[in-house]
């Protein structure tokens, strides 16, 4: 957040686009469900929503974390450490964007995944 802005935005959002190859949808769905169950246990995870295209070949994951600490906890937790490698056996990352400040440690990790970073400038959140 830039000085002068009066909105105390701390939330961090991830948008991950995934492509699912032919024949991999069942494995993808199984891993995605396990990832939801694991993320549900993280107190700072406010949203973890998977949206599928009608043809089952593309998925968009929308993640929302309360703050940088919650984003880091997710990035270093069991869902990312154990289940993301499994997910990548049944899908490829087509795009990854981070909105807000995930903190320096998470930012470095996310950049390693090829994430594009976007800083908050102006807005309204309720």
pLDDT of residue 125: 78
Using alpha carbons, select from 115, 107, 113, 102 the residue that is nearest to residue 70: 102
pTM (2 d.p.):
0.91
pLDDT single digits (tens) 25-73? 999 999 999 999 999 999 999 999 999 999 999 999 999 999 999 999 9
CA angle at 125 for the pair 34 and 110, rounded to the nearest 5°:
45
């Amino acid at each position: 957040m830039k000085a002068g802005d009066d909105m105390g935005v701390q939330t961090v959002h991830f948008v991950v686009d995934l492509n699912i190859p032919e024949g991999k949808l069942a494995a993808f769905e199984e891993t995605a469900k396990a990832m939801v169950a694991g993320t549900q246990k993280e107190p700072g995870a406010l949203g973890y929503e998977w949206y599928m295209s009608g043809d089952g070949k593309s998925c968009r994951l929308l993640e929302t974390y309360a703050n940088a600490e919650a984003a880091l906890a997710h990035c270093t937790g069991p869902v990312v450490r154990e289940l993301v490698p499994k997910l990548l056996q049944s899908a490829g990352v087509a795009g990854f964007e981070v909105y807000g400040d995930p903190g320096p440690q998470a930012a470095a990790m996310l950049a390693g995944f090829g994430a594009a970073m976007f800083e908050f400038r102006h807005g309204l959140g309720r």
